[in-house]
């Protein structure tokens, strides 16, 4: 059975946010410590990584991930791509380029940030090598069938995915009808709910809960979370079947 691991459940600042003073009570709960948003899908034939936040090395070592078959980059905001250099060790250990699936409009930003990860490969220096895989509505990765779709994050397109009864939709402020069609009849949905106040580029809690009412997945975990949320206190107020995600959460699907 494939497993989804929430590598990071935090918004772009991470939680705790640098420079911000928190109460001792808040920091005492490990579930209030959120690295930036990423997901790992452990399939029967390999691991698929979704996004590369700045804490990627720490996330992958924490979860004891020893191989990566391919990487999906949902979009190129800093909190989703600034860990891509850490893919270097997998390129070295697996002696191969890393397949990176993203939308065509996101490829240029990745080439600009990581020019050394594309040919020509320098002699005698260890660098990551990325090999772009074109976006498709349906792909097979890690022995899993993945349906990919596009949602909007402000004006930026973002990749969402579904495999079996599991779906992951991070960084979203609008779900087009084609994507909504892929989010029906789910066992588990992981959905962006960045904070309590409205946000121009993300669902806030109220908007996420309204979508959950519409799609009615059996279980929903909210992710890309700011420090507005105190894990246990918030969970006590959420409707049945809805909980906050946390770093290290594992979901079989």
Q: In the complex, which residues of this chain contact Zn ion (CB under 5 A)?
A: 77, 171
Q: How far is the CB of 1 from Zn ion (least distance, A)?
A: 30
Q: What would the two tokens of residue 204 be?
A: 């806030």
> Residue 47 forms beta bridges with which residues?
42
Q: Which is nearer to Zn ion, 38 or 91 (CB)?
A: 38
Q: Which residue spans within the chain are E strands per DSSP?
A: 3-8, 38-43, 46-50, 70-72, 98-102, 130-134, 138-141, 144-153, 156-163, 166-169, 188-192, 219-223, 242-244, 250-252
Quote the least distance from Cβ 15 to Zn ion, whole Å: 16
User: Shortest gap between Cβ of 5 and Zn ion (angstroms)?
Assistant: 20
Name the nearest CA neighbour of 100 among 153, 168, 91: 91
Shortest spacing between CB 58 and Zn ion, in angstroms: 20
CB nearer Zn ion, residue 102 or residue 129: 102
Q: How far apart are CA 158 and CA 165, in angstroms?
A: 20
51 vs 69, beta carbon nearer Zn ion: 51
Q: Which two tokens stand for residue 75?
A: 């979009």
Nearer to Zn ion among residue 10 and residue 142 (C-beta): 10
CA diameter of the chain = 57
Residue with tokens 């290290």: 248
Nearer to Zn ion, 77 or 162 (CB): 77
Residue 173 CB, shortest distance to Zn ion, in Å, is 10
Q: Measured at CB, which residue is nearest to Zn ion?
A: 77
């Amino acid at each position: 059975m494939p497993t989804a691991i929430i590598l990071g459940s935090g918004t772009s600042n991470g939680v705790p946010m640098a420079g911000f003073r928190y109460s001792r009570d808040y920091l005492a709960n490990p579930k209030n410590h959120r690295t930036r948003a990423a997901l790992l899908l452990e399939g029967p034939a390999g691991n698929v990584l979704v996004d590369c936040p700045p804490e990627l090395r720490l996330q992958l070592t924490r979860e004891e991930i020893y191989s990566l078959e391919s990487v999906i980059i949902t979009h190129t905001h800093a909190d989703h791509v600034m860990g891509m250099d850490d893919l270097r060790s997998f390129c070295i250990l697996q002696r191969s380029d890393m397949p990176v699936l993203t939308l065509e409009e996101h490829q240029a930003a990745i080439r600009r940030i990581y020019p050394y990860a594309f040919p020509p490969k320098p002699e005698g220096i260890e660098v990551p090598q990325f090999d772009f895989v074109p976006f498709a509505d349906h792909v097979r990765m890690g022995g899993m069938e993945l349906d990919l779709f596009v949602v909007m994050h402000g004006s930026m397109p973002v990749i969402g995915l579904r495999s079996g009864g599991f779906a992951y939709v991070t960084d979203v402020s609008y779900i087009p009808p084609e994507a909504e069609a892929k989010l029906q009849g789910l066992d588990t949905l992981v959905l962006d709910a960045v904070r309590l106040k409205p946000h121009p580029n993300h669902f806030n809690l109220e908007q996420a809960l309204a979508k959950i009412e519409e799609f009615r997945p059996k279980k929903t975990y909210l992710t890309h979370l700011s420090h507005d949320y105190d894990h246990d206190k918030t969970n006590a107020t959420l409707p049945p079947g809805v909980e906050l995600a946390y770093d290290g959460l594992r979901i079989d699907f």
